[in-house]
Amino acid sequence: MKLLLITGIKEFENEIKQILKHSGIKSFSLQSVKGYKNNSGNRLGNWFGTHDPGVDSLLFTVFAECGCLDDIYNRVEEFNQKQESLSKVHIATLSTEKSI
């Protein structure tokens, strides 16, 4: 089982939900979060696409057992390539050793 963490600005909510739905994800958690950027040489680059603090963002938490990870990553990459804004959808995958 894998844990996916997906972040994006609030305006991307529907698109991220559609990516998950069309990739076969049946359930996920969603939280509203504030995104901040520290301009002190952060290696992650332009994470939230703005220099202003407190960007309204979302954090999707997904436990995935299916082989849909590649599809999700491909769909997120395709979505990001179409964006004209500085903000992008970000995704990370973590392995889970045990879950109940």
Give the pLDDT band of residue 37 (cuts 50, 70, 90). Answer: confident
Give the β-pairing of 90-95 and 55-64: unpaired
**Does the pLDDT of residue 46 top 60, yes or no?**
no
Q: Which helix (H) or strand (E) holds 90?
A: strand 90-95
- Model confidence, pTM: 0.81
Name all domains of the chain by residue range, CATH numbers in brackets: 2-95 (3.30.70.120)
- Could you write out the DSSP letters of every residue in 49-85? S-SSS-EEEEEEEEEE-SS-HHHHHHHHHHHHHH--S
The residue-averaged pLDDT of 23-38 equals 89
Confidence of residue 35 (pLDDT cuts 50, 70, 90): confident
Q: What percent of the chain has pLDDT over 70?
A: 84
CB count within 10 Å of CB 50 equals 16
